[in-house]
Structure 1
Amino acid sequence: MADRKYAFKAIERMGANLITTESAIFGFAPDAGHPKFGQLRKLLLEPSVDTGL
């Protein structure tokens, strides 16, 4: 876990913008009017494992 935290910090220092999975998914269909919005929203209803990060 410590290695992951340091890796994410290094990636940020290189200029990457770290975002949540929700932000990434909704980037594909940014509003409810998009035809795939409902399908993408279902992906977010599944709980994910808390990694502690």
Structure 2
Amino acid sequence: MKLKEYECIEVKHHKEVGKAIEQWQKEGWHLHTYTTTQYGIGGDAHHHLLFEKGEKD
């Protein structure tokens, strides 16, 4: 049984999220999870994308 691979990346600006997803999909990865975090009051939001690659269930 081959396990799936996972990679998590951080995108610092929301305008770059779509570009990052497109780039990773071209390389055979699929978006698994997308979440955001904000550091401090009024701080910048960071976007975390978890990609997976491998056999589907």
Q: Which TM-score band applies after superposition, normalised by the shorter structure?
A: 0.3 to 0.5
Provide TM-score, normalisation by structure 2: 0.31
Q: Where is the helix percentage greater, Structure 1 or Structure 2?
A: 1
Q: Where is the strand percentage greater, Structure 1 or Structure 2?
A: 2
**Larger RCO (CA under 8 A, 6+ residues apart):** 2
Bigger CA radius of gyration: 1
